[in-house]
Amino acid sequence: MSGPAQGTGLRALAGAFANSLAGLSHALRTERAVRQEAFALALAVLLALVIGAGLWQRVALVGVVLLVLAAELLNTSIEKLADHVTPEIHPQIKIVKDLGSAAVLCALALAGLVWLAALAERLGLA
């Protein structure tokens, strides 16, 4: 695993970006939920062009799906760290994992609300 990016400026930025891509690549290869949300993101980009009434609505439609993916990546990080700390079932670790899962649920709820509102507006229901 890589440490903090060395140097300053563009070299540090490039190193941080490479680490981010490595993490995303690993998650896409190993986590079903991340693959599902990446697919949803690709679909959201296309559907936002049809459903979104303007630029900001399209950005919001894609943005909330990106938020779901970000929450899932953080949840996956928490779960992997927890499993590394103690692979055995532990009640406190279960709570930590459940809290991460709840964060994903909140992001999904927000995404659902934004998409429903945009769809209702597009259909003239709002």
- Positions annotated as catalytic residues are 72
Q: Is 88 helix (H, G, I), strand (E, B) or coil?
A: coil
> Over the stretch 79-123, which tens digit does the pLDDT of each residue have?
999 999 998 999 999 999 999 999 999 999 999 999 999 999 999
Task: State the DSSP code for 5.
Answer: P
> Over the stretch 50-89, which tens digit does the pLDDT of each residue have?
999 999 999 999 999 999 999 999 999 999 999 999 989 9
CATH 2.60.40.10 applies to domain 33-122: no
Q: In this structure, how many other beta carbons lie within 10 angstroms of the beta carbon of residue 23?
A: 15
What span, in angstroms and rounded, lies between the C-alpha atoms of 119 and 109? 15
Give the domain ranges of the chain: 1-30, 33-122
pTM attached to this predicted model = 0.88
